[in-house]
A = this chain, B = another copy of it.
Amino acid sequence: MIAIIGGTGPEGSGLALRWARAGESIVIGSRDGERAKAAAAKIAEKAGPLGSVEGVENAVAVKMCDTVVLTVPFAGQADLLKQLKPSFRQGTVLIDATVPLATAVGGRPTRVLGVWEGSAAEQAQEIVGKNVAVAAAFHSLSATVLHAEDDVDCDVIVCSDDDRARKVASDLAAKIPGVRAFDGGKLENARIVEAMTALLITLNIRHKVHGAGWRVTGIYGSG
């Protein structure tokens, strides 16, 4: 079972949809259990019968699952993780998709804030502590594209200091049709992957599209 904290938002619900279609059991988390339930019902209807989607309050979702995916705006990330910390089981894998966009402080979505720990993902690791294994992933997947029917023409770079967390994130990436996972090294490299998402927003604006993404080339042949 996979908890998606921020699962009522466009990115989280898009991931939920894709994973439910792949047969996974998804638990949508929200501050408000009723909102989570309503969002889950919508996603379940769109996803079809293969997987399952339920909705509960954030802390309940974290308690229920071995894998927790965090898709919230950066402005709320630290406070939310502090609140949820007691709910994490020992050994939970936390996959952080947070991008520290400057919008968190009224700035532009094409810029990132400097995070003292180095990245939003390292901030997450510092808050949840060593009992939780953090991987950074899924930043680059456009919510618009996740909610569409086509295969996703974008790769996912996974950064982690924990081999199990890296594998969990990589396996989840591969469950989204079209997506390939690449090993982006240590969690500290999340600062680059997070910033790349701001650059994708620039590419969207400059080229007047909504779903710019990346393919890695030169590894398994052409992207």
Contacts and interface: CB of A to CB of B under 8 A. Distances in A.
A222 interface: yes
A214 B211 contact: no
Interface stretch (A25-33, A46-54, A190-198): A190-198
Interface in A206-223: 206-207, 209-219, 222-223
B209 A199 contact: no
Copies in the complex: 2
Nearest to A142: B218
Nearest to A193: B199
A191 B216 CA distance: 19
**Does more than half of chain A's interface fall in helix, strand or loop, or is it mixed?**
mixed
Contacts of A215: 214-215, 217, 222-223
Interface residues of A, number: 38
Contacts of A182: 203, 206-207
Contacts of A205: 185
A24 interface: no
A207 B223 contact: no
A197 to B, nearest CB: 9
A95 to B, nearest CB: 18
Interface of A: 110-111, 142, 145, 153-154, 157, 182-185, 188-189, 191-193, 195-196, 198-199, 202-203, 205-207, 209-219, 222-223
